[in-house]
Amino acid sequence: MTTPATLQSRTQTAPLAVVVLLLAWTAHAGSNPKLVCDEPVFEFGTRSNSMTIEHVFKIRNTGKAALLLRKVRTTCGCTVAKLARDTVEPDGEAEVHVSLSLAGRTGEQRKTIYVESNDPGTPTLQLELHGTAFAEIEVRPREGAFFGKLSRTDTVEKDVRIVASDSTTFHVTGVILDSPALEYELSAIQPGKEYSLRIRVRSPRPVGELAVVARVLTDHPRYAEVPVPIRLITEQDVYAVPRVISLRQEELASPELVRHVLIRTPSGEDFHITGIEKPLESLDVKVAKLRNGCFRLEVRGFPLDQTLNDKVIRVTTDVQNCPPLEIPIRIQGGRASAVTVPSDDKTGPAALPGAVTEKQDMTEPELNQEKGKTREPEPAPGRADDRQK
């Protein structure tokens, strides 16, 4: 039974317990390490992107226990940070050595360094390098010479400029370009300040992607070589959309299974299909000529098993010096990626003898959009500026 005296005793004891707990917590907190950096941000100003920024951050332990520095990490590969030691006694100091390469970078730069420790109040301390990078010698456009997709017989050229900043002068002493598919022409727009490098694509060329770098040699002490990226894709004289016939195993049981493939040339020139070689005699391949000069293959009669997996349909044409076009067949567990290809005319295709004409299931804008997905690659990305990781 609780008496008035007992209740009064408990009431007086409760505040005392709270005070004891607070004192214990304060004593415990006072025994923790504490990580501090008086200058956590280093402003390096405006620097040439031929330089590497070096800095040492000083960190201190203002707590009452040993500070354990567990790890230091950065936000990108261009920044390197190292700890001079991994334990800092109370009232002791340590150094974090940081280097930032500005190679190829322009504009504002902000790079973060994280120091992880056993400080319960600040388990991760954030340090920062901040400033601006500029190019004393710059390639314009920054991505160099990007030609996109070309046919084997296309002969095109692009001009790239090599330009000095206001405070810089230089002279081009030579160009190294190791590719039989390319040739160059160098001219001085303003000697000492600006030069033009004209890249010309030769014809014919092998099919496939070509990515090379022209090395522009200069007399500048920090820019002995200025790289100019060059990229192009030479397509076959005839190609397919989609390039692969994709099927799912569970689709093969459907009697309605059909795939359509568009056959065309990069230039849109007129041509004719002269033969179809099937990997399996029972495979049904019908050919129809569309009014936009392309051909459409309608493929049916796929067997129920994996017989056709990794087999190819070969298409021969009357395009001069063009090898047979191979269209692989892939049977997979994922969703099929093949595209049904329409005519460019709602009245239907002009059929070749024996070809099937049927209602088209995509509009002209949709067809153009699909062609655009296939024909145009993304430009080669230039160097990121301020925040690229």
Q: What is the pLDDT of residue 163?
A: 96
User: What mean pLDDT is predicted for residues 129-143?
Assistant: 94
- Quick one: which of 233, 235, 236, 196 has its CA closest to 216? 196
Q: Is the pTM of this model over 0.75?
A: no
pLDDT band at 326 (very low <50, low <70, confident <90, very high): very high
Give the best-scoring range by mean pLDDT among 103-112, 180-189, 357-366: 180-189
Q: What is the pLDDT of residue 319?
A: 87
Greater pLDDT, 343 or 79: 79
Q: What is the pLDDT of residue 18?
A: 53
Domain boundaries, the chain: 35-134, 137-234, 239-370
- Rg over alpha carbons for the chain, rounded to the nearest Å, is 34
Q: What is the pLDDT of residue 332?
A: 86
Element (H, E) at 260: strand 259-264
pLDDT band at 124 (very low <50, low <70, confident <90, very high): very high
HSE at residue 71, side-chain half, CA atoms within 13 A, is 4
CA distances from 31 to 36, 61, 90, 295 (A): 16, 12, 10, 80
- Quick one: which of 232, 179, 178, 177 has its CA closest to 207? 232
DSSP state of 70: E
Q: How far apart are CA 87 and CA 73, in angstroms?
A: 17
Angle at 158 between CA 367 and CA 227, to 5 degrees: 115
Greater pLDDT, 248 or 269: 248
Using one digit for the tens of pLDDT, what is the confidence trace for 9-58?
A: 555 555 655 544 555 544 455 689 999 999 999 999 999 998 999 999 99
Q: How far apart are CA 358 and CA 364, in angstroms?
A: 16
Q: What is the pLDDT of residue 153?
A: 79
DSSP state of 64: S
Greater pLDDT, 355 or 185: 185
Instruction: Count how many residues are written for the chain.
Output: 389
Q: How far apart are CA 260 and CA 189, in angstroms?
A: 52
Over 90: is that where the pLDDT of 291 sits? no
Region label for 72, one of left (φ > 0), alpha (ψ between -120 and 50) or beta (otherwise): beta
Q: Strand 41-48's sheet: what is its strand order?
A: 41-48, 124-134, 107-117, 67-74, 87-88
User: Taking all residues of the chain, what is their mean pLDDT, rounded to a whole number?
Assistant: 82
Its sign, for the CA torsion 237, 238, 240, 244, is negative
Using one digit for the tens of pLDDT, what is the confidence trace for 311-322?
A: 999 999 998 878
Using one digit for the tens of pLDDT, what is the confidence trace for 145-181?
A: 999 988 877 889 999 999 999 889 999 999 999 999 9
Q: Are 317 and 308 in contact (CB under 8 A)?
A: no
Over 70: is that where the pLDDT of 355 sits? no
Q: What is the pLDDT of residue 340?
A: 43
pLDDT band at 351 (very low <50, low <70, confident <90, very high): very low
**CA terminus-to-terminus distance, the chain:** 71
pLDDT band at 293 (very low <50, low <70, confident <90, very high): confident
Assigned CATH class of 239-370: mainly beta
Over 70: is that where the pLDDT of 357 sits? no
Domain 137-234 in CATH: superfamily? Immunoglobulins (2.60.40.10)
pLDDT band at 353 (very low <50, low <70, confident <90, very high): very low
Greater pLDDT, 171 or 372: 171
* CB contact set of 36 (below 8 Å; sequence gap of 6+): 59, 60, 61, 62
Greater pLDDT, 229 or 352: 229
Angle at 279 between CA 276 and CA 285, to 5 degrees: 45
137-234 and 239-370 share one fold = yes
CA distances from 44 to 58, 104, 109, 325, 386 (A): 16, 17, 10, 57, 14
Q: How far apart are CA 140 and CA 228, in angstroms?
A: 9
The CATH fold of domain 35-134? Immunoglobulin-like (2.60.40)
Strand partners, 196: 161, 187
3-state DSSP call for residue 188? strand
Token pair for 226: 């200025």
Over 70: is that where the pLDDT of 329 sits? yes
DSSP characters over 309-376 = TT-EEEEEESSTTPPPEEEEEEEESS---------SSTT--BPPTT-------S-HHHHHHHHHHHH-
Q: What is the pLDDT of residue 281?
A: 92
Q: Is the peptide bond before 242 cis (omega within 30 degrees of 0)?
A: yes
Q: How far apart are CA 115 and CA 368, in angstroms?
A: 53
Q: What is the pLDDT of residue 362?
A: 38
